[in-house]
Amino acid sequence: MFQHSKKVASAALFGLMASAVMTTASHAEETIKVGILHSLSGTMAISETTLKDVMLMLIEEQNKKGGLLGKQLEPVVVDPASDWPLFAEKARELLEVHEVAAVFGNWTSVSRKSVLPVFEELNGILFYPVQYEGEESQRNVFYTGAAPNQQAIPAVDYLLENEEVERWVLAGTDYVYPRTTNKILEAYLKAKGVADEDILINYTPFGHSDWQTIVSDIKAFGTAGKKTAVVSTINGDANVPFYKELANQGISAEDIPVVAFSVGEEELAGLDTEPLVGHLAAWNYFQSVDTEINAEFIETWKAFIGDEDRVTNDPMEAHYIGFNMWVKAVEKAGTTDVDTVIDEIIGVAVPNLSGGYSAMMPNHHITKPVLIGEIQEDGQFDIVAETDGLVAGDAWSDFLPESAKLISDWRKPFSCGNFNVETGQCGGSATN
């Protein structure tokens, strides 16, 4: 009895010592810091908080696997509070004070534009996970969301082929992403032979809540006896009242389908989806993708967040791909040195959640499949179309005359984000 307890005591002592040694060891051991730059308060918190959580989950999972280069990863979370200039300040803080190896962050294009000079000046790495308007390729930024040719154009193709749409309403929120996307789509539709009078373009302010006039305009536009569809780049909160008004005025998806580029599972979670059934969305990922790897991802996510009702969405997958690409590039390079990683990451391919491999292209965009989904009553999407193979992101749209002649290739010794094939010159290292 006595002996036994002595044994226990010594075991406990040993354990205590071991853990003490281990904590000092992990203190001495350096960690690799990863910056997370997503708004946790303000208007964008609705979308960005989830991305912060998914990054924390990915880092935790990586640490469980033994970290990176034998070191543990340490997330550094900052809150830029949906304030665009604050994004630049917080990016500076991450790079200068915390000396992070890479930053994952931003949602809106305007916030990305605000941090670009900082990443260029301090030579950092930014992974940007949201679909955007394109027309940009920067040495320090990796665009893991969709470029217009990976989302908007395939969606329009789907409507042309499957719904035989002849009249188009391009409705968007009034800022850079919808304006550029609609410019590209307008040029694309005209190239397909759609007449001027068959395209209606409409912009609304952020958070627009009174859609009566616009929806009745759309209804009237649809009475020309031609099949009509709405291509929506309406952003954020304005979507809920928009869809509610559509339903109220009796427009169903069978009459005038709406294909949206900013409505995903997360947005639908706050919506009575019954009247929306059949409206479309185009993304590179849906939670309903039926693959083993996706089922595993969803399970991990639900366990991490501790809520069975939480959903996954496209920008989360973009972070999943981006983070794994960075990890792989760092392993390949054997260092987190920014310049080496930027060179090494090109050509790195990692599994995406829809069962294929996504690769980093020399223009810092990635290859992805494009999926078209129809909204279901449970707030999930039924995938009704899928591109045959992967689509490579095109930084400079081929449908805008001024950008059709630009190409981007960051491989050495070319290293140019906006090379003009007509003049044979690189437009400079800055964007645009």
CA distance from start to end of the chain = 79
Task: Count the helix, strand and coil residues of the chain and give each as a percent rounded to the nearest 5.
Answer: 40, 20, 40
Q: Is 212 in the site for another protein (CB under 8 A)?
A: yes
How many alpha carbons fall within 13 Å on the CB side of residue 349?
10
Q: Is 374 in the site for another protein (CB under 8 A)?
A: yes
Q: Is 422 in the site for another protein (CB under 8 A)?
A: no
Q: Which stretch binds another protein (CB under 8 A): 110-118, 316-324, 328-336, 369-377?
A: 369-377
Q: Is 244 in the site for another protein (CB under 8 A)?
A: yes
Q: Is 272 in the site for another protein (CB under 8 A)?
A: yes
- Sheet strands (E) in 278-324: 280-283
d(CA 44, CA 86): 13
Q: How far is the CB of 199 from another protein (least distance, A)?
A: 15
Q: Is 237 in the site for another protein (CB under 8 A)?
A: yes
Nearer to another protein, 219 or 328 (CB): 219
How many alpha carbons fall within 13 Å on the CB side of residue 248?
13
Q: Is 267 in the site for another protein (CB under 8 A)?
A: yes
Q: Is 60 in the site for another protein (CB under 8 A)?
A: no
Confirm if 127 and 102 have CB atoms less than 8 A apart: yes
Residue 119 three-state SS:
helix
d(CA 407, CA 403): 8
Q: How far is CA 25 from the centre of its chain?
A: 37
- Binding another protein (rule: CB under 8 A), the pick from 66, 207, 355, 428 is 207
Q: Which stretch binds another protein (CB under 8 A): 38-46, 183-191, 192-200, 395-403?
A: 38-46
Q: Is 46 in the site for another protein (CB under 8 A)?
A: yes
Helices and strands, counts by H and E, the chain: 13, 19
Confirm if 390 and 367 have CB atoms less than 8 A apart: yes
- Binding another protein (rule: CB under 8 A), the pick from 22, 220, 303, 421 is 220
Q: Is 77 in the site for another protein (CB under 8 A)?
A: no
User: Which of 113, 92, 346, 350 shows the shortest CA–CA distance to 103?
Assistant: 92
User: Which of 373, 408, 403 shows the shortest CA–CA distance to 151?
Assistant: 373
Q: Is 257 in the site for another protein (CB under 8 A)?
A: yes
Q: Is 72 in the site for another protein (CB under 8 A)?
A: no
Q: Which amino acid is at 426?
A: C
Q: Is 432 in the site for another protein (CB under 8 A)?
A: no
Give the total of residues touching another protein (CB under 8 A).
60
Those residues whose C-beta lies under 8 Å from the C-beta of residue 214, and which sit 6 or more positions away, are 171, 202, 204
The 8-class DSSP code of residue 405 comes to T
Q: Which stretch binds another protein (CB under 8 A): 19-27, 36-44, 120-128, 408-416?
A: 36-44
Q: How far is the CB of 2 from another protein (least distance, A)?
A: 53
The b/e string for 213-229 (b: 16+ C-beta within 10 A; e otherwise) is ebbeebbebbeeeeebb
Q: Which stretch binds another protein (CB under 8 A): 57-65, 109-117, 208-216, 397-405?
A: 208-216
Q: Is 269 in the site for another protein (CB under 8 A)?
A: yes
CA distances for 115 relative to 38, 84, 132, 162, angstroms: 12, 9, 15, 41
- Binding another protein (rule: CB under 8 A), the pick from 105, 134, 148, 222 is 222
Q: Is 226 in the site for another protein (CB under 8 A)?
A: yes
Q: Is 217 in the site for another protein (CB under 8 A)?
A: yes
Confirm if 99 and 282 have CB atoms less than 8 A apart: no
Q: How far is the CB of 210 from another protein (least distance, A)?
A: 5
Q: Which amino acid is at 182?
A: N
Nearer to another protein, 56 or 277 (CB): 277
Q: Is 235 in the site for another protein (CB under 8 A)?
A: no
Residues that bind another protein (CB under 8 A): 40-43, 45-46, 49-50, 162-163, 174, 202-205, 207-210, 212-214, 216-217, 219-220, 222-226, 237, 240-241, 244-245, 247-250, 253-255, 257, 266-267, 269-272, 275, 277-278, 374, 376-377, 382-385
